Amino acid sequence: MSTTLLAPGFADPSHDAQRLFRSVLDAFSHPGRIVELRDAPVGPGTLSPAAAAFLLTFADRETPLWLEAGVDKQEVRDFLRFHAGAPLVPAREAAAFAVIIAGGGEPFAGFAIGTDTYPDRAATLVIEVPALEGGRATIWRGPGIDGEIQVAIDGLGDGFWPAWTANYALFPCGVDIVFASGSQLIALPRSVAVEA
């Protein structure tokens, strides 16, 4: 690995990670809310600043990471190994975190969904999307949402929301989602029902 070509991580790792942790916690506490990650590092390759910031905040040596082919580039691997120390795994089922580009066929297939005893052993998927607005309108309901909220994430394939409905039916098991675009993200916990 050549550190001269390595994309920079956090300017102040401890302080930045704490601040970004609070921002992501806010996103998960208020599903559907667009959260701006201020001073998110510019991610390498196709990795958005929001995805890079999320991974640098939450991924570590104990959290195996899987990268979809469109994201799995040497500069991304080097960046995540150096700044987060996260082991990169070749199989979806071994991942605690995954980075996916929106629009694929079966976005949730093969990932860990946890168990009734250990639902926290489910994967969290970071899905790179073109925009967090301007897509097909959906209605979200669940914990952290006052009644309902309309969300229109761009770039999701036709099968995405039916797959989410099947994931929601698994609660308390199932994957959690973070949609990332630019320096913004939206969280979608497995406890939230989506009407598409």
Give the per-residue pLDDT at 13: 61
C-alpha to C-alpha distance for 186 and 145, rounded to whole angstroms? 13
Is 54 part of any domain? yes
Is 64 part of any domain? yes
Is 59 part of any domain? yes
Is 1 part of any domain? no
CATH number of the domain enclosing 79 = 3.40.50.11310
Give the per-residue pLDDT at 14: 65
Is 89 part of any domain? yes
Q: What is the mean pLDDT of residues 20-39?
A: 93
Is a pLDDT exceeding 50 seen at residue 4? no
Q: What is the mean pLDDT of residues 161-186?
A: 97
Give the per-residue pLDDT at 5: 61
Q: What is the mean pLDDT of residues 113-117?
A: 94
Is 92 part of any domain? yes
What does the mean pLDDT of the chain come to?
91
Number of domains within the chain? 1
C-alpha to C-alpha distance for 153 and 148, rounded to whole angstroms? 16
The listed range with the strongest mean pLDDT (3-7, 76-80, 122-126) is 122-126
Is 39 part of any domain? yes
How does DSSP classify residue 71? T
Using alpha carbons only, give the angle 67, 18, 107 rounded to the nearest 5 degrees. 25
The answer to whether the CB of 181 falls within 8 A of the CB of 36 is: no
The answer to whether the CB of 137 falls within 8 A of the CB of 154 is: no
Domain that includes residue 166, residue range: 10-190
C-alpha to C-alpha distance for 31 and 151, rounded to whole angstroms? 10
pTM exceeds cut of 0.85: yes
Is a pLDDT exceeding 60 seen at residue 6? no
C-alpha to C-alpha distance for 90 and 105, rounded to whole angstroms? 19
Give the per-residue pLDDT at 10: 61
pLDDT band, residue 2 (cuts 50/70/90): very low
Is 3 part of any domain? no
